Structure 1
Amino acid sequence: MERCLWPGNNPVMVEYHDKEWCVPSEDDQYIFEMLTLEGAQAGLSWNTVLSKRNSYKEAFHHFDIEYCSKLSDNDLLYIKENYSIIKHLKKIDSVRNNANAIIEIQREYGSFANFLWKYVNHQPIINHWETDQYIPAETKLSKQISKDLKKEGFKFVGPVIIYSFMQAIGMVDDHITSCSYHTKNRKN
């Protein structure tokens, strides 16, 4: 079995690559989780964030959007001090902030997924990179989505974060073409 090079031999990274990365999702709770984790990654490695994923799930009640929208400042400080998550207070505060922004989008669009997937006409972009080195860090589309999310009040949604987020929720398939998990190679 071939796979992209970036997960290396790290079991957590390999599992994420094989089971989640570039797999389309329209589940708002999962999308919120990925937005939170990608925002937490800013300036850090994805491995660092994934190693703390279970703590994030526990701290934020499995990314229950309604629950996270109602967290108080004291709740956020408690989470910072008592859970093994990234200790950056602005990143932690962005969870509440972004939960509230998602609720507003859900009111207008029916779901956060509807809002996001309209950018790709509800079909993932399937790229055909031969090696990992060609995969971009950001694109014109990630810049546009970033800009639009910022207008909606989201935090930690720069174009690089958003491109990784697009990969995380399967809006983009950036598996290299020889990878067994590329859309054209999947058996399911």
Structure 2
Amino acid sequence: MSAPPRVRSVDSSDREFRSVLGPAGNKLQQKPLKKPVADKTKNLTFTKNMPQCSPLSPSILRRNGISMTASYSSDASSSCESSPLSVASTSSGKRALRRSGSLSSSSSLRRNLTEERDEKASDCFSDGRKRCAWITPKSGQCYIAFHDTEWGVPVHDDKRLFELLSLSGALAELSWKDILSKRQLFREVFMDFDPIAISELTNKKITSSEIATTTLLSEQKLRSILENANQVCKLIVEFGSFDKYIWNFVNQKPTQSQFRYPRQVPVKTSKAELISKDLVRRGFRSVSPTVIYSFMQTAGLTNDHLTCCFRHHDCMTKDETGN
């Protein structure tokens, strides 16, 4: 015996608003639906039948960071749960975008103005020559002479190369101005940067208080100079000279940069990273890519004088003549 069919209960609201089909079709009468009365206030933001939101007091608005002049849209205010800050946040977002764009353009403009000012400042030397931006008419004569006669000039003497490598490593603790002012003292302490003579010193001698006080270098830097001198001696045995070893990385020819602005000059390059890795592998210390690139600039392995600097052409000429 099959189970009786389930009877679906019909809600009273369904009987009032939905037609019922009988055995005779749609002839069964149904309760007519009332036509909705047109609401004259349908275009208003709030209707009679909708719950009204209590207006926010000025103190609440100020406490929540809402401006009293924030505009409300009719769509956003049709419900009490909708956020009245949608329009304000959108407009503020647009203002932020415009402000960020203006800040970007203004920073670019300031940078260009600064670079143009640096170019003009390089014309203020008494000799009328243009120089790199890191040299100004107010720079010391020793610093200007370093730029004009040494920086970027190819060096092929082993002692000079080792000196510049050691001084570049000291830049982590001293500036070029400080190093140049004590350069003669450095040469006296480190025996004119002769790697063979330095390699004969002991750790106790190289880290003595007298040397540390004279050079203003830490014990770690002093030990690195001694260790690097030992490694340079090994390179001389293997390659014939430190000069041949280091210049092999640039095929015995300086890299000629074409930088116009100081911001274009890098602090390290892939070539500097390659040299640094090889030196570390051989036991050198304090030879990070940044130190090596500074050494390459000073020793003339790369000509990083700005194109507006008179030394840019001079260093190219020295490279071509081999002097």
TM-score, normalised with respect to structure 2: 0.55
Instruction: Report matched runs for 1:1-188 at 5 Å.
Output: 1-8=129-136, 9-78=139-208, 80-81=210-211, 84-183=214-313
Q: Structure 1 residues 185, 67: CA separation in 2 closer, same or farther (over 3 Å shift)?
A: closer
Once the 2 structures are TM-superposed, how far is the Cα of residue 51 of structure 1 from its aligned partner? 1.8
Higher relative contact order (CA 8 A, sep 6+): 1
Q: Which structure shows the higher helix fraction?
A: 1
In structure 1, the gaps of 5 or more residues are none
Deviates more, 1:154-163 or 1:177-186: 177-186
Alignment size in residue pairs: 188
Once the 2 structures are TM-superposed, how far is the Cα of residue 184 of structure 1 from its aligned partner? 5.9
Q: Note the aligned Cα RMSD (angstroms).
A: 1.7
In structure 2, the gaps of 5 or more residues are 1-128, 319-323
Once the 2 structures are TM-superposed, how far is the Cα of residue 76 of structure 1 from its aligned partner? 1.1
- The residue identity in structure 2 corresponding to 1:151 is R
Q: Structure 1 residues 83, 58: CA separation in 2 closer, same or farther (over 3 Å shift)?
A: farther
How far apart, CA to CA, are the structure 2 residues paired with 1:180 and 1:131? 14
- The residue identity in structure 2 corresponding to 1:2 is K
Once the 2 structures are TM-superposed, how far is the Cα of residue 74 of structure 1 from its aligned partner? 2.4
SS at structure 2 position matched to 1:181? helix
2:34 corresponds to: none
Q: Structure 1 residues 79, 24: CA separation in 2 closer, same or farther (over 3 Å shift)?
A: farther
* Kept after mapping to 1: 8 A contact 2:189/2:211: no
* Kept after mapping to 2: 8 A contact 1:27/1:113: yes
How far apart, CA to CA, are the structure 2 residues paired with 1:25 and 1:81? 27
- The residue identity in structure 2 corresponding to 1:93 is R
State the structure with more CA Rg: 2
Q: Structure 1 residues 25, 108: CA separation in 2 closer, same or farther (over 3 Å shift)?
A: same
* Kept after mapping to 1: 8 A contact 2:231/2:284: yes
How far apart, CA to CA, are the structure 2 residues paired with 1:66 and 1:79? 23
